[in-house]
Amino acid sequence: MASSASLMVLALLMASIAAIAEARAFFIFGDSLVDSGNNNYLETTARADSPPYGIDYPTGRPTGRFSNGLNIPDLIGKQIGLSESPLPYLSPDFSGKKLLLGANFASAGVGILNDTGVQFVNILRMYRQLELFEEYKRRLSGLVGTRQANRVVSQALVLITVGGNDFVNNYYLVPFSARSRQYSLPDYVRFLISEYRKLLMKLYKAGARRVLVTGTGPLGCVPAELAMRGNNGGCSQELQRAASLYNPQLVQMINGLNAKIGRDVFISANTQKMHNDFVSDPQAFGFTTSEIACCGQGPYNGLGLCTQLSNLCPNRDLYAFWDPFHPSEKANRLIVEQIMRGSNEYMNPTNLSTIIAFDSKI
């Protein structure tokens, strides 16, 4: 017979599970822009688990986030009322009631296509992230029962950020890459969009009902591309062309999916425009530069990795880019502000605050 003490512990556990379940769960899929540390547990070079990464994170230590501090999922999580960010799915601490907060499946280096990021070897490609989501749902069902698990998933917010690597670490990775010999750029973009559509439908079939889909940033204007492909300080025209072809077709595809389903499951975020605002006029947003990375080496601090041997700026808030590819925490805050409250120029069909307010009335 159970003791009164053990019954009390069980009652408290069930009460805390019920309280957490009231908050909206948050699931994250995609690449290094949203990876919170899954790659720490994988044999890969695509990692951010050593200093100076995390220098401005609350602990002051690297976590696997490709940021000086908080990343986009951290900041969205705060906005939707989560007490803490969902853990990386591969974290050994991810168990028990932590499952009710959601999970981060993202993995640096991945793309829409399975052959993107082959140089990083052991990363969680998109098909694997979706397999782990199914495994997560089974684990959650074991914790709270199938009915409640389905409810957690259907009421959750999902963020998916993927696509940039399909250009940077695939089509344009090397001159005459396999994909660039196979497809012209317009044909490659159409192929990516058709493959991405399949991924989004898999998420829908897995139970996701509110999915925030981000486009690519201004691919040709990140410090890495200025250093490698830029023209006398200008952005790489070829990568900018890729982004300008891809992003409108992504919105079009999402609109088509919503029309087919009959409701606005997918919300598109125009992250290219969000980035372009501070890339084209950094001073208006309090940055001194949007060309030079805070951490790196070579022209624009855009070559190689951010390491303890790299140049490191003293004030990260003055830099739009933290490392050769990734925005600083301050830039991430500006992006999330537009995701939450931006106009239709930035968010389609509407911003996340409006969606959340609408959902709370259902």
In this structure, is residue 6 part of a structural domain?
Answer: no
In this structure, is residue 211 part of a structural domain?
Answer: yes
**353: containing domain:** 22-360
In this structure, is residue 29 part of a structural domain?
Answer: yes
In this structure, is residue 164 part of a structural domain?
Answer: yes
- Assign residue 99 the CATH number of its domain: 3.40.50.1110
Q: How far apart are CA 317 and CA 252, in angstroms?
A: 35
In this structure, is residue 17 part of a structural domain?
Answer: no
Predicted pLDDT at 22: 61
Give bridge partners of residue 211 from the DSSP assignment.
158, 266
Q: Work out the end-to-end distance of the chain between its first and last CA atoms, rounded to an integer number of angstroms.
A: 43
In this structure, is residue 178 part of a structural domain?
Answer: yes
**Contact of 295 with 326, CB cutoff 8 Å:** no
Question: Active-site residues: which are they?
Answer: 32, 323, 326
pTM over 0.95? The answer is: no
The count of domains in the chain is 1
Cβ neighbours for 251, distance < 8 A, ≥ 6 positions apart: 215, 268, 270, 348
In this structure, is residue 239 part of a structural domain?
Answer: yes
Provide the CB-side half-sphere exposure for 214 (13 A, CA): 30
Predicted pLDDT at 2: 54
Residue-wise pLDDT for 32-85, tens only, equals 999 999 999 999 999 999 999 999 999 999 999 999 999 999 999 999 999 999
Burial class (CB in 10 A: 0-12, 13-18, 19+), 145: exposed
What is the mean pLDDT of the segment spanning 122-132?
Answer: 98
